[in-house]
Amino acid sequence: MTAQKFITLQPTGDKLPLVGFGTARIPNEDTEQVVYDAIKADNRLIDGALSYGNEAEVGQGVRRAIADGIVKREELFIVGKLWNNFHEKQHVKSVFQMTLDNYGLGYIDLYLVHFPFATEYVDPKQPFRLANDKNELKLIKAPLQDTWRELEALVDAGLIRNIGISNFNVQSTLDLLSYARIPPSVLEIEHHPYLQQKRLIKWVRSQGIQVIAYASFGNAVFEAVPPGTEHLENLMKHPVIANIAEKHNLSTGQVLLAWAVSHQVVVIPKTVNVNRMKSNLDIDHVKLDDEDQQKIDDLEANARFNDFYINNYGFEFPLFN
């Protein structure tokens, strides 16, 4: 495989691989082996979250790969996320400690605020949801400034290397930058040809913030899609993507990943198939030409699939408006 490429994070100078591995929606009973296989396939970036429900199993896979000599800890880049129920300052450190214990590592490389809003506290041992039993979104008054101060203290203690944000827009990021002593190094967002978010990406980069994409395969990732997007063809089967894939002797997944990486956007595709793990990583040699790029760029539809709408999350919440 061609040497993996990286981008550099501020302010630490840490190297973040451009291609990594996502762990959302992997069944718990499969997660340890899948993560172990992903690392064995040469993945060095592992993106996880407490809310995925499989964080402990991710940690088991990581530790087994280290114990078997496949990789050294310092060669891995491990990501965790703070869920909405734990933004209040008295909960941040204890919930982060759960993540640290689940991973079984002395530190993690990047810890993200999962969403820019806070909901009522729940027992962290129970499954996390956005709505309660009545499908109500119970927002609370937990200033993000207080949350961020706790994260900065965890950086100071050497338990987190980098802190960042996820699903933030320009306004929420701008507010954070007004008081952050340690600025966010990363913004993780939904990103694919149907939702390119070029203006947002350009602006956060001007602030020294790098971008990680989730849902790089667009509507192929989601079982339900928001109203008004049903007509959009599955990106993994789209004729434009399929034709480019045939032209370069690639899979459609490789084309979608290579397109994002060509824009220096980090991708974290998830698969339980070892061969696809390897092919997802094997895109360093891919050079999409100007015609390819333009055809993919023209697929922009401003279509967000991970949105809060009745059919998906059970409630309406215009977070991204």
Q: Residues annotated as binding site for substrate?
A: 114
**Closest of 293, 260, 292, 252 to residue 276, by C-alpha:** 252
Q: Is residue 26 classed as helix, strand or coil in its secondary structure?
A: coil
Residue whose tokens read 């190297």: 15
Distance, in Å, from the CA atom of 192 to the CA atom of 235, rounded to the nearest integer, reads: 9
Structure tokens at 258: 């290579």
**Dihedrals φ, ψ of 166, to 5°?**
-145, 140
Could you tell me where the beta strands, DSSP code E, fall in 167-295? 186-190, 210-214, 266-267
Residues belonging to the binding site are 114
Q: Mention every residue, 6+ apart, whose C-beta is less than 8 A from residue 141.
A: 118
Residue 69 burial (C-beta neighbours within 10 Å; 0-12, 13-18, 19+): exposed
Q: Is 194 a catalytic residue?
A: no
Distance, in Å, from the CA atom of 319 to the CA atom of 306, rounded to the nearest integer, reads: 11
Give the number of other CB atoms < 10 A from CB of residue 170: 12
Active-site residue identified among 52, 103, 111, 214: 52
The reply to whether omega before 193 is within 30° of 0 (cis) is no
Structure tokens at 132: 């309660």
Distance, in Å, from the CA atom of 136 to the CA atom of 128, rounded to the nearest integer, reads: 14
By 3-state DSSP, what share of the chain in percent is helix, strand and coil, each rounded to 5?
A: 40, 15, 45
Enzyme catalytic residues? 52
